[in-house]
A and B are shown apart, each in its own frame.
Chain A
Amino acid sequence: MAAVKPLLTTRNLSRSFGGLKAVDNVDLDVMPGEIRAIIGPNGAGKTTLVSLICGRIEPSSGQINFEGRDITRMPAHKRVGLGIAYTFQITSIYPNLSVFDNVALPVQRMSHARVSSRGLDASVMHALERVGLADEAGKTAGTLAYGHQRLLEVAMGLSLEPNLLILDEPTQGLSDGEIENFIKLVREIGERATVLLIEHNMDVVMQLAEQITVLNFGKVLAQGTPDAIRANVKVQDAYLGTGADD
């Protein structure tokens, strides 16, 4: 593995809100093709960390590299062009537009040449089929069940053909059956893309993650394979033993 360069690295990455250090000197190395889970108690800085990576917010200090390029100051929409896609913790779709149009936007973003409307239709339907929403294409997105809205958001992220897909608590609010399908979907995505997964559901984390980073008070508390993390005493104290309520 030593020869493979990391897809994403952060060095001394920090972000403060007022006096609060939400992310505090975080060093992260994510290898290409990896499924990396980021866990930690509420308020540990998980969402802030991935927001820095995708460019939604700017870091106070530190550096972010993606595919060997310094992207620390790059605006968010350009990072999407490099292949970083983000799905929101609180479902963020276009509730008043059709399911089809929701996915047509990222598809259109990716088609650099002018595509025919038929080509667009096919790509959109393909993305919807992957998450199992093809039958809902004509519906208004806001009328979908919550779980389906989550899947729609994943379909939007997938349509960006990302190298790095950031999923922020994707299974929150899903039923057990839906979670099972979701795990299958993420595995499938993980064959081609690198996945950064923030997740509270430890079953999902243990099934999917190849590496786990544990955050606590904005700092990296531990990092390693699922087995190593499970055995880590510090992590048990901070999180697994007490905080894993869901």
Chain B
Amino acid sequence: MNGSNRAIPVWTLHIAVIAALWAAQYVLPDYHHGIIARVMVLACFAMGYNILFGYAGLLSLGHAMFFAAGLYGAGLPIYHFGWHVVPSFAFGIGCGALLALVIGLLALRTTGVAFMIVTLMFAQVGYLMTLWLGEWTRGDEGLTLSHSERIIESASVFIDLTNRDTRYGAAWLLLSVVLLITVVIARSPFGRVLVAIRENEERTRMLGFNTYANKLSAMVISGAISAAAGAAYVLLFGYMGATFAAIQYSILPLLWVLLGGAATTLGPLLGTLLMFYLAELSNDALNAWFPGANLSQIGIVGAALVLLVLFFPKGILGTIRERWLKWLP
């Protein structure tokens, strides 16, 4: 009758998805191999977004700042100070968590549309900072990490993150960890409180829950996961640029989550995967049909968002859960 009794199918499903993604690397052709690695990292970003938007019901329009905090938090120390990969990764996550805490303390004093605008504005400040600090970040042009800067090396281990298979493995590991964290949160008392806040905050407060503290926790977890995705991105793909702090990287996770299904554990992954391929294919198609028109995939993204909200508000897995699989977390 409730989620907690369905532990076996839930865990089986998630382990199966993780296993399938591991197996995929052995059958995928080169091109798709690379795409899936990228999708897995970006799906972590979407999962981080989903904690706040899907479960707690807080629509942020500024998550690019958390992704970028991880991206630059991990990348800049490597580039400028020669840090090693592991501490940089941890530092990137820390930057995102701290930023989310500070932004949360301020933005969570508002709700609804005001919250959207406040997060949007903070993210714009973040974006402009990446340009303003151009001496360090090189702004739009960005910075590239060299091969030697992306190697984890000690007495007993040698991990080369530029290697195709290692990169896939690292992305897979991050995705698995974040996915399992999401499942645990969704099924925990904390997850239930977040959903309760989304559904009826006043009632939740009057049942004795500190809704502000719970929302702040969701914000920090969401920011930390988004930053982990950003940090992984710079380490695995070797590039950081101001584009990742721009508005479209705040809209994309929203779109991925909406497509896959908000407040479902696997929705962000599915949404990211489908949207990535949709954008790729439509980009090719647009260029083939209208050569020289220089049309951008961002239009496709916008159209998809409008269609989703109008006709498919629960997303793919949200609809499946509603119709058939009630136990889906």
> Which A residues form the contact surface with B (CB < 8 A)?
54, 56, 75-78, 80-81, 85-86, 88, 92-98, 100-101, 104-106, 108-109, 117, 120-121, 137-138, 156, 160
Taking the complex as formed, is B154 at the interface, i.e. its CB lies under 8 A from any CB of chain A? no
Residues of B within 8 A of A80 (CB): 206-208
Given contact pairs A80-B206, A86-B206, A92-B203, A105 touches B4 in the complex (Cβ within 8 A): no
Which among B1, B189, B200, B209 is the interface contact of A94 at CB below 8 angstroms? B200
Taking the complex as formed, is B147 at the interface, i.e. its CB lies under 8 A from any CB of chain A? no
Which residue in chain A gives the minimum CB-CB distance to B189?
A108
Residues A94 and B203 in contact, CB atoms below 8 Å apart:
yes
- B205-225 vs A, CB cutoff 8 Å, 1 = contact: the mask equals 111111100000000000000
Query: Could you list 14 examples of A-B contacts with CB < 8 Å?
Result: A76-B206, A77-B211, A78-B208, A80-B207, A92-B206, A97-B199, A98-B1, A105-B192, A105-B193, A105-B196, A117-B4, A117-B5, A121-B5, A137-B1
Taking the complex as formed, is B204 at the interface, i.e. its CB lies under 8 A from any CB of chain A? yes
Which residue in chain B gives the minimum CB-CB distance to A108?
B189
Residues B200 and A105 in contact, CB atoms below 8 Å apart:
no
Residues A138 and B207 in contact, CB atoms below 8 Å apart:
no
| Closest-CB distance, B244 to chain A (whole angstroms) | 35
Taking the complex as formed, is B173 at the interface, i.e. its CB lies under 8 A from any CB of chain A? no
In the bound complex, how far is the Cα of B205 from the Cα of A167, in angstroms? 17
In the bound complex, how far is the Cα of B210 from the Cα of A75, in angstroms? 9
| Closest-CB distance, A111 to chain B (whole angstroms) | 9
Residues A56 and B206 in contact, CB atoms below 8 Å apart:
yes
> Which B residues form the contact surface with A (CB < 8 A)?
1-2, 4-5, 189, 192-193, 195-196, 199-200, 202-211
Which among B2, B204, B205, B207 is the interface contact of A101 at CB below 8 angstroms? B2
Which residue in chain B gives the minimum CB-CB distance to A101?
B2
State the total of A-B contacts with C-beta under 8 angstroms: 69
| Closest-CB distance, B48 to chain A (whole angstroms) | 24
In the bound complex, how far is the Cα of B204 from the Cα of A109, in angstroms? 10
In the bound complex, how far is the Cα of B203 from the Cα of A120, in angstroms? 20
Residues of A within 8 A of B202 (CB): 56, 92
Residues of B within 8 A of A97 (CB): 195-196, 199
| Closest-CB distance, B183 to chain A (whole angstroms) | 15
In the bound complex, how far is the Cα of B192 from the Cα of A104, in angstroms? 9
Most buried by A among B2, B5, B189, B211: B2
Which among A85, A93, A108, A137 is the interface contact of B192 at CB below 8 angstroms? A108
Residues B192 and A109 in contact, CB atoms below 8 Å apart:
no
Residues B196 and A94 in contact, CB atoms below 8 Å apart:
yes
Residues of B within 8 A of A86 (CB): 206
Residues of B within 8 A of A138 (CB): 1
Residues A109 and B208 in contact, CB atoms below 8 Å apart:
yes
Residues of B within 8 A of A94 (CB): 196, 199-200, 203
In the bound complex, how far is the Cα of B223 from the Cα of A34, in angstroms? 49
Which residue in chain B gives the minimum CB-CB distance to A162?
B208
Residues of B within 8 A of A75 (CB): 210
Residues B1 and A100 in contact, CB atoms below 8 Å apart:
yes
Which residue in chain B gives the minimum CB-CB distance to A96?
B199
In the bound complex, how far is the Cα of B4 from the Cα of A56, in angstroms? 32
In the bound complex, how far is the Cα of B205 from the Cα of A204, in angstroms? 29
